[in-house]
Amino acid sequence: MPLSPEQAAEIEEQRRHSQATLRAVSPGMESHLYTAYPVLDHGFVRVIDYMGDDAAICQAARVSYGKGTKSVQNDEGLIRYLMRHWHSTPFEMCEIKLHVKLPVFVARQWIRHRTANVNEYSARYSILDREFYIPAEDALAAQSVVNNQGRGAALSGEEAERVLRYLRDDASRCYDHYEEMISDEGQQGLARELARMNLPANIYTQWYWKVDLHNLLHFLRLRADSHAQYEIRVYAEEMCKIVSDWVPFAYSAFEDYRMGGATLSSKALSCIRRMLVGETVTQESSGMSKGEWREFEAVIGK
């Protein structure tokens, strides 16, 4: 289960109490507080706290006191301008703190984004739960033959059953040994910080992850992309829903300019200009490599 009974009881207790505040609040984000959204088989994402909203981005950009006399339309236009011209500092004025439960191998990908504050559940002091990520059968895929970092066709039938059996059996066996090592009958038992080293990478861990909006959007641009690994992408997709309610103007601009837009090289722009005046441009005459040309064709839908 994503939440333990103790965590669920604690969250329910927190939800029952509210306090008046003079700070800026985002109604969309308020609805997400203390709610754990399931991800994968045992994981979740939930908002612990946040700071700022769309207005805070504009306030920082204008360096003004309060909202002033600017209209909502002006705020949206300013945010789009900031996003369009890569002005990152105003977006850093908003922050979010998340509680995330995720498999260790996903956490090791996630932690490569070194622009956040992280505090992880300690297996030196506490005993990890017997919870492992076991993929659904349709998420089992062979290694891609064209991309060393990607997946190919899905496994099926006996091959898929064999892989799932290995994953379940190996995880269970490792955890059995982990339990035995830390609680040997009649003996002191191995230190938890040593016993944990035989646990598989699909065991679940938890952490608090605090990040500003600028760096969060960079994370989402990479990890919510269709080319990202599925197991981290589903976390990013859940976070996108939260961010879209928290800062709707900023997220709309992010979708438009980052997720839905494209960055073109000077050579690519030159090719487009030549095409617009009727010139036939090929890879050989473009000045681009074959890889660049394939990506260029994908962008212009050729």
pLDDT tens per residue across span 113-122: 999 999 999 9
Percent of the chain predicted with pLDDT > 90: 69
Per DSSP bridges, beta strands 141-143 and 117-120 are: unpaired
Question: Which letter does DSSP use for residue 301 in this model?
Answer: T
Q: Is the pLDDT of residue 16 over 80?
A: no
Return the higher-pLDDT residue of 123 and 8: 123
Number of Cβ atoms within 10 Å of the Cβ of 175: 19
Candidate list 151, 196, 223, 233, residue with the active-site label: 223
Per-residue confidence (pLDDT) for residue 34, from 0 to 100:
85
Residue in 255, 256, 275 with CA at minimum distance from that of residue 267: 275
Per-residue confidence (pLDDT) for residue 171, from 0 to 100:
96
Q: Is the pTM of this model over 0.75?
A: yes
pLDDT tens per residue across span 78-104: 999 999 999 999 999 999 999 999 999
Q: What is the rounded distance in angstroms from the CA atom of residue 239 to the CA atom of residue 96?
A: 11
Q: Is the pLDDT of residue 270 over 90?
A: yes
Q: What is the rounded distance in angstroms from the CA atom of residue 245 to the CA atom of residue 239?
A: 10
Q: What is the rounded distance in angstroms from the CA atom of residue 201 to the CA atom of residue 205?
A: 10
Active site residue 80: no
pLDDT tens per residue across span 185-210: 656 788 999 999 999 999 999 999 99
Q: Is the pLDDT of residue 144 over 90?
A: no
H/E element, 45? strand 43-51
